[in-house]
């Protein structure tokens, strides 16, 4: 049987009499009360205890209440804790400043115990309701994300396709997705796309695009014809302003021919079994924007053991570091050579680790100074969804 823990209230006031009154009155109501007589101690307790609500005096020597609440609201751990100001100041501008900084209410001193109890109670109720709503919405979005990911094919379920994949959505409704198309025993299609935006509509459109791929990527049509028909439908059904960049690769393992259809997407990287990695650049219009879209087409001969990589721009772009996929892909070409001896299934994960560094992907662990040598340029936090598909001929 779980033992219900009492709600914790933190009171911060430089007047010890006020702290004693607050502690006594709230303790009698079943609350766990923590007290601090100055701003720094209050901040320390807030971070260590993460109270359910904070009563904070505005006028304190040294660090006043405004400085304390700024610190609390700028820290993700304490930002959502409701703060009620205790103030003897009657000026409207001081109260407005408190609200602007994130306070939910104020109590004018000298205060009445019953008023403190009533305001604490109502703001705890509001906090509980808000947190429940957030939890419910997060649960629904997680279900949506799980449903979206369940539509993505896995290597173990498609052994003939000979691929490995890394997929990471930064938001519950990811904008990136991929698909594997079984054209025939020896012909496979590989599709990677990136929707504009990451809203709920985007996740529902993923299913529509997958259906269009199945209907139109067949031996009857050339890869370019398949993408044109898909584009014509998307122009009609996508909401205004919505589009997707994409790359469709058709690999014929019998004839050893590969065709790449690029629709405004980062270039495919081709890693020959006995050669250096190269970009298969082919400019093209995005899908779903123009009725008469023109796509980039590249056709090459391949050899058994060759690999090619299709990815979304989240792998190579960084707005923070002013890196676009145009120069970002070239920047990391050498990383593809380093994984040539890794299995195709493991290659995407190893490549992600090489480019970003495990510290930024997993957010755990640290590097020694020696381990950081040579990694400094790569410790870039992913800023977008990532799909990385590695295929072996």
- Domains of the chain, with CATH numbers? 8-142 (3.40.50.2300), 151-392 (3.60.40.10)
Residue with tokens 């012909």: 187
User: What pLDDT, on the 0 to 100 scale, is given for residue 223?
Assistant: 94
User: What pLDDT, on the 0 to 100 scale, is given for residue 367?
Assistant: 38
Pairing of strands 105-108, 83-87: parallel
Helix (H, G, I), strand (E, B) or coil at 223: helix
Euclidean distance between CA atoms 312 and 91, whole angstroms: 54
Helix (H, G, I), strand (E, B) or coil at 116: helix
Exposure on the CB side of residue 359, measured as CA atoms within 13 A: 12
Assigned token pair, 277: 């990695």
Smallest Cα–Cα separation from 148: which of 164, 166, 167? 167
pLDDT-flagged residues of the chain (< 50) = 1, 358-380
Give the pTM: 0.59
Euclidean distance between CA atoms 287 and 234, whole angstroms: 7
Euclidean distance between CA atoms 129 and 152, whole angstroms: 35
pLDDT, one tens digit per residue, over 233-249 is 988 888 777 888 999 99
- Which residues does 102 contact at the CB level (< 8 Å), separation at least 6? 69, 72, 73, 79, 83
- Give CA angle at 382 (295, 71), nearest 5°: 140
Alpha helices, H only, 154-298? 200-216, 223-237
pLDDT, one tens digit per residue, over 81-130 is 999 999 876 677 888 888 899 999 999 888 888 999 999 999 999 888 87
Distance of CA 121 to the CA centre of its chain: 35
Euclidean distance between CA atoms 253 and 162, whole angstroms: 11
Check if the beta carbon of residue 19 is closer than 8 Å to that of residue 27.
no
Smallest Cα–Cα separation from 188: which of 180, 200, 176? 180
Pairing of strands 32-36, 8-12: parallel
User: What pLDDT, on the 0 to 100 scale, is given for residue 360?
Assistant: 43
User: What pLDDT, on the 0 to 100 scale, is given for residue 365?
Assistant: 37
**How does DSSP classify residue 313?**
G
User: What pLDDT, on the 0 to 100 scale, is given for residue 298?
Assistant: 95
């Amino acid at each position: 049987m779980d033992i219900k823990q009492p709600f914790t209230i933190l009171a911060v006031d430089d007047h010890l009499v006020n702290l004693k009154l607050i502690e006594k009155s709230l303790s009698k109501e079943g609350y766990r009360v923590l007290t601090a007589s100055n701003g720094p101690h209050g901040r320390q307790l807030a971070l260590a205890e993460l109270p359910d609500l904070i009563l904070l005096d505005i006028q304190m020597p040294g660090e006043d209440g405004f400085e304390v609440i700024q610190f609390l609201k700028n820290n993700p751990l304490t930002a959502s804790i409701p703060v009620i100001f205790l103030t003897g100041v009657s000026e409207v501008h001081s109260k407005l400043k408190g609200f602007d900084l994130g306070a939910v209410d104020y109590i004018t001193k000298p205060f009445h115990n019953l008023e403190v109890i009533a305001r604490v109670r109502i703001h705890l109720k509001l906090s509980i309701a808000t947190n429940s709503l957030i939890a419910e919405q997060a649960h629904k979005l997680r279900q949506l994300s799980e449903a979206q990911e369940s539509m993505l094919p896995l290597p173990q379920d498609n052994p003939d396709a000979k691929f490995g994949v890394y997929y990471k959505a930064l938001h519950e409704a990811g904008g990136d997705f991929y698909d594997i198309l079984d054209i025939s025993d020896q012909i496979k299609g590989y599709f990677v796309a990136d929707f504009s935006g990451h809203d709920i509509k985007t996740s529902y459109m993923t299913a529509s695009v997958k259906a269009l791929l199945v209907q139109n990527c067949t031996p009857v049509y050339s890869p370019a014809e398949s993408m044109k028909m898909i584009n014509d439908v998307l122009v009609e059904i996508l909401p205004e302003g919505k589009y997707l960049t994409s790359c469709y690769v058709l690999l014929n393992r019998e004839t050893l021919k590969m065709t790449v259809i690029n629709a405004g997407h980062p270039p495919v990287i081709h890693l020959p079994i006995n050669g250096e990695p190269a970009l298969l650049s082919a400019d093209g219009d995005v899908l779903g924007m123009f009725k008469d879209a023109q796509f980039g087409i590249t056709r090459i001969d391949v050899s058994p053991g060759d690999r090619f990589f299709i990815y979304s721009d989240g792998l190579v772009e960084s707005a923070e570091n002013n890196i676009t996929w145009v120069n970002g892909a070239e920047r990391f070409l050498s990383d593809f050579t380093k994984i040539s001896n890794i299995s195709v299934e493991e290659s995407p994960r190893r490549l992600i680790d090489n480019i970003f560094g495990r510290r930024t992907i997993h957010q755990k662990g640290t590097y020694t100074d020696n381990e950081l040598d040579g990694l400094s340029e790569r410790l870039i936090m992913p800023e977008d969804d990532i799909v990385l598909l590695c295929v072996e001929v």
